[in-house]
Each structure stands twice: as C-alpha cells, then as structure tokens.
Amino acid sequence: MGSFDVPLDDERTQLDAFVKEYRSALEVTLDGLTEEQARRRLVSSATTLLGLLKHVTWMQRVWFEECVGGTSRRELGLVQSPDESFRLADDDTVASVTAAHREACATARAVVADLPLDTVVTGHRAGPRTLRWVYLQVLRELAHHCGHADILREQLLAAD
C-alpha cells in the first residue's frame, strides 16, 4: 500500500504509508549495483549509496528504539553521531546493510504499534516530543536522503 492509496485514511495510516514508501525507495537505489558501486564515493563527503542506507538504519534506530523505546545508543550498540553512522566497515555489504535496515524497520513498527500519535516520548537527548513529531522527523530524513540516493545512483549509472 503506497501513499497514493491512502488519501482519505486516518493520519497514522498515511504516515505509515509514506514512511514505508521512502524506506523501500532507499533500498531500491542499490538494486543491480555491484558492491564496489554501492561503496563508491562520488562526493567529497563520506556519503555513498551503501553509507546512506546504513545511516538511515541508524537514524531510525535512534528515533524509534532510543527516543520512543527509551534504550540508549550505547545499550543499542549504536555509534554516537550521525557522521559516524555513514562509515562502512570492511564487512558491510549490500545484503548485510539491507538486512540490518529491514530489521530496524521491523523493530520500529513493533515499538510504535500500540502507541497513539499523541504519545509523549522521552528517550531523546533533546527532550520530550510526541510520536507524531518522531514520525515527521523520520519522514523528513528519509525523503532528504532519498534525494541524495537518487542523484548518486544517477551518477553511478552514467559513469559505468
């Protein structure tokens, strides 16, 4: 079910549809690429297609598992900063990073399943916020990084 399938549904259904769509769109940018292409740096920063997926995995764990779930980054085994979350380990592959992303998405869905959007969550360092705010922040980040991924994929395909 995509975002255009739910124009008159309740707010939660719409948010879930948009988030699901952007999660999938990020994964699709890796389809058909070699490991080398997925890891290739095309910009001066550490941003790569595989690094983007690793970062959004981290980002969703921060917002859903830390902020909503109340488990610290340290307890979750997460790096502390967004910049660190883009860094690829030697053993990171398209398959392993995609699997980690899917696991983080499943965990996120479970964490929020029974919570109303007006629930105030308190696990983030910057203070309390509503679950609705968390959804909007995650959606903003996913959309932002989908744009980056589209451009990087276009550059990769044009170069090869």
pLDDT single digits (tens) 88-120 = 999 999 999 999 999 999 999 999 999 999 999
Which strand (E) or helix (H) includes residue 129?
Answer: strand 129-130
pLDDT tens for each residue of 113-134 = 999 999 999 998 889 999 999 9
Alpha helices in 41-88 (DSSP H): 49-60, 73-76, 82-85
Predicted TM-score of the model (pTM): 0.94
Give the rounded distance of the alpha carbon of 116 from its chain centre.
21
